[in-house]
Amino acid sequence: MTSRRYFLTGTAIAAASLPLMSLQPALAAKDPVYSSWGVAIKGTDPVAYFTQNRPVEGRKKHQHEYQGATFYFSSAENRDLFAANPEKYAPQYGGYCAWAVSLGYTASTVPEAFTIVDGKLYLNYSLGVRSQWEADQANRIRLGDENWPGVLN
């Protein structure tokens, strides 16, 4: 009986202190570059979006580390272009979905759902989401710029 009383007393004290504790688990900040198993843009060459206006599969032998993620390139030349000026070729918002970032959160992307606006690469979750994003593109970019990089926290 004594041990039950201590248990109940301890439970009551713990319950009373719940409002003082955070009930949500601590969330780790997201990586600055969206990647799958450490590989950005699912292995797609970011430079090729600018030079060929389409997603081109990169090769592991032509890779470059940038902001904690590995980017693959279809050629050594593209890798070297990226390495010399990654801000020019890296996707905006770390490769997270531009639509999601404009709404204040992050989401994954697919290489096919891309747009280049004013010399900047934007990726989206899907082709359908890209269509929605493009319908209000200037506003979505403005909102995304305001939200980035705060959405990583």
pLDDT tens sequence across 97-120:
999 999 999 999 999 999 999 999
136 and 117 assigned to the same domain: yes
Residue where a domain terminates, one of 72, 89, 106:
89
The mean predicted confidence, pLDDT, of the chain is: 87
Number of domains in the chain: 2
Range in 16-30, 31-45, 72-86 the model is least confident about? 16-30
61 and 98 assigned to the same domain: no
In this prediction, residue 5 has a pLDDT band, given cuts at 50, 70 and 90, of very low
119 and 75 assigned to the same domain: no
52 and 110 assigned to the same domain: no
pLDDT for res 29: 79
pLDDT for res 28: 61
85 and 98 assigned to the same domain: no
Asked if residue 110 is part of any domain, the answer here is: yes
In this prediction, residue 135 has a pLDDT band, given cuts at 50, 70 and 90, of very high
* Alpha carbon separation from 40 to 15, 46, 47, 68 (Å, rounded): 45, 9, 13, 10
Count of CB atoms situated within 10 Å of the CB of 117: 14
Domain limits at 114? 91-153
pLDDT for res 115: 98
55 and 106 assigned to the same domain: no
Asked if residue 1 is part of any domain, the answer here is: no
Q: Which two tokens stand for residue 76?
A: 């050594």
